[in-house]
Amino acid sequence: MSDSQPEPRDRSPVARRSSLSSPSGGVTLHDVFLAAARVGPHVRRTPLERSAALSAELGLEVWLKLEPLQHTGSYKLRGALNRLLTLPPEARRRGILTCSAGNHGLGMAEAARLTGIAATIVVPENASPAKLAGLRRSGVELIVTGRDYDAAEARARALAAERGLPFVSPYNDPAVIAGAGTVMLEILQDLPGAGTVVVPVGGGGLASGVGLVARAVNPALRVVGAQPAASPAMHAALAAGRLVPVADRPTLADGLAGNIEAGSVTFPLVQSALDGIALVDEAAIAAAMRAFLDSHHLVVEGSGAVGLAALRGGLRPAPPEPVVLIVSGGNVATAVLARILAETGE
């Protein structure tokens, strides 16, 4: 793990909650409650379970929020469905266009099926084969283009303008953020005594939703991010105090890869609500994926394993406990999992 892991809140040079009024990015706790009411009939309330194995290993009280058990295999359905259910009538008739590394696309495809709204989904050429296979089965219009997420998003935005369709960002969208925030509502309902939540961070949609709910309900609750060192866009932004371009190298946490859109509402939300972001390397992510399989017989993708990688790499949240790891998804190709098992085996 990077040596820039979060310090306790009052000493953090990277990110801490402001004592002043913080920007909301146009998203409020009320929006999250409304999102929960909208999507509740269609999404699964995923389990929050204590991990005896990880608690013993880490010397912490560790709980797991298991979004791999969500419909489509990740939390992304929550935000995608909330976005489609809040579209104005004209947009519902025309349909939408979005870009995704995979999980947002799967969530949007299912949301499109549930609502009857047409969806075109653009994904990069390096998208996970498991996610591509799911998208091809979904029946949406799928366009595979661009060597990485940044290139695919640029093409998707141009295509949306050409077709006159609304572009739905997988993270820079208030309705998507509010839907993601329902994960935190469930955590607080099930474990109101949680002391620290560790959340995967990419473009910041999940971290924004989780952070704004935590800040509004219990300002003492610590929220710490985890991000792949191979694609550290939000970590770099917090260090610089503004969005800055970063090199986007290949990572097992493909759902967290890519740069952040200029002016994204997620940056001020993450800046005000997170207590820092820990960076984790590829070996740590792979080992965490294997640990989930070994200890819980649970298939977790790289993006969902970064929180455990951070804890195993030395992140020690300040008291109080328990610590909740948001395990964000489980869509990983069998070939990738087989390679990890071979490389991390005894």
- Of 90, 69, 72, 94, the closest CA to residue 81 belongs to 72
Alpha-carbon distance of 96 to 291, in angstroms, equals 38
DSSP per residue over 298-341, as a string?
A: ----HHHHHHHHHHHTT--PPSSPPEEEEE-B----HHHHHHHH
Q: Which of 51, 65, 74, 76 is catalytic?
A: 76
One of 24, 100, 272, 328 is an active-site residue; which one?
Answer: 328
Tell me if residue 328 is catalytic: yes
DSSP string for 75-128: THHHHHHHHHHT--HHHHHH-EEEE-SSHHHHHHHHHHHHHT--EEEEE-TTS-
Pairing of strands 196-200, 119-123: unpaired
Distance from C-alpha of 225 to C-alpha of 329, rounded to nearest angstrom: 16
Angstrom distance (rounded) from CA 29 to CA 123? 31
Q: Which residues are catalytic?
A: 76, 328
